[in-house]
Amino acid sequence: MKKIIPHILFFLLTITAYSQGVFFNLGKNFSTFHYKNKSAYADKLGIKGFGDAYEIGYTDVLKYKNFKDLKYSGSVTINDFNAIAASNVNKLEWKTTYLGVQSSVDYQFYDSFYFFLSAKAGLNLSTLLRGHQQVDNSAVNLVGVNEFSGIIIQPVLGVYAKYYLTKNGYLSAGLNLSKSLKLGNNSDHVSINTTQILFGGYFDLIKR
């Protein structure tokens, strides 16, 4: 997987040369794991935690009829989904990192000279880069475990703001809500609900 990352980044940076803008984001994921073991003695668990979020991508105008405020965005993402739960006698901890490709449609609904607001809807497809589970003193590598590996699908809804900084540069901030679901075999019904807060920058490649 590590050999794939440079090729993805090279492709992304190459395609941006012909797009309207590029962006990067850094932030935090606040996640809740939902897990139901098929054991007769196990109940559904709500396990919460936070991790880092990284995104680099491009945007281009989506030419659809007269909707000039619609844009398409494509990006590469790296997300940490971490969680911990503890009782008086047991402790469960998950640490996972996923590499993904995300596409979205953005609609700019507020426009001033210095400040812009947009809504977005998108889809992220990702796969596990590394994962670790700790149950009391027992550790498990989650790479290859059916409930965590394979393809993860993640619908995303969000809002974000851009603030004019230079002639072609903006500061940005965003809030995304998402739910990650494992495709294929998922006998323990593991899903991850995430609130994501992002800060970053946006740069026009077409001079105003």
Domains (range + CATH), the chain: 4-204 (2.40.160.20)
Mean pLDDT of the chain: 80
Say how far apart CA 157 and CA 32 lie, in whole Å.
Answer: 17
Give residue 204's pLDDT. Answer: 84
The two tokens of residue 176 are: 């995304």
Give residue 140's pLDDT. Answer: 81
Say how far apart CA 115 and CA 14 lie, in whole Å.
Answer: 29
Residue 199 CB contacts under 8 Å (≥ 6 apart), including other chains: 25, 26, 27, 171, 172, 173, 174
Strand, helix or coil for residue 85? strand
The enclosing H or E element of 8 equals: helix 4-15
Give residue 62's pLDDT. Answer: 75
Give residue 15's pLDDT. Answer: 40
Q: What is the DSSP letter of 206?
A: S
Amino acid at 172: S
What dihedral angle (degrees, nearest 10) is formed by the CA atoms of 162, 127, 78, 174? 20
Give residue 191's pLDDT. Answer: 79
Give residue 85's pLDDT. Answer: 76
Give residue 14's pLDDT. Answer: 41
Give residue 75's pLDDT. Answer: 95
Give residue 126's pLDDT. Answer: 93
* In the block, residue with structure tokens 């550790």: 139
Q: Give pLDDT < 50 ranges for the chain.
A: 1-2, 4-5, 7-19, 38-43
Strand, helix or coil for residue 16? helix
Nearest Cα to Cα of residue 97 among 62, 56, 67, 141? 141
Q: Let me know: does 193 contact 154? Beta carbons within 8 Å.
A: no
